[in-house]
Amino acid sequence: MAKNPKHRDLFAGALELMILHSLRVKPMHGYALVKHIKLVSDDLLQVEEGSLYPALQRMLRAGLLESKEGISAKGRPTRIYRLTKAGIEHLEREKSGFETMFAGITRVLAVAKA
């Protein structure tokens, strides 16, 4: 299946940042995270489950998230993820770093063609 040219791979750390920020809004299960990111980005960002669940596991091991068993909206057993205090602190540091990087990229892109 050909990739949609409007959909690009995320750069390093972007998925983690979006997961952390989304979970700061409210605790969610994995599929809800995928839907939330897609909805909020107006379908510009699509997170694949093959990327999401390994990222969630890495963040659980790092102590940025915690999880508990819950029930999905469809009544199925699921795992609900939430931020830890360390996750909130990590999110704030990462967000600041991304804002600085985006400011630099914006400046480069604003330079008029010679």
- Domain chopping of the chain, boundaries: 14-110
Residue 56 token pair: 């969630």
Percentage of the chain exceeding pLDDT 70:
88
- What pLDDT, on a 0 to 100 scale, did the predictor assign at position 2? 45
CA distance 98 to 104: 10
Residues 6+ apart with CB under 8 A from 86: 62, 63, 64
CA distance 82 to 24: 7
Structural fold of domain 14-110: Arc Repressor Mutant, subunit A (1.10.10)
- What pLDDT, on a 0 to 100 scale, did the predictor assign at position 1? 39
pLDDT in tens, 71-89: 877 888 999 999 999 999 9
Cβ atoms 81, 56 nearer than 8 A: yes
- pTM reported for the whole predicted model: 0.80
Higher model confidence: residue 3 or residue 59? 59
- What pLDDT, on a 0 to 100 scale, did the predictor assign at position 11? 62
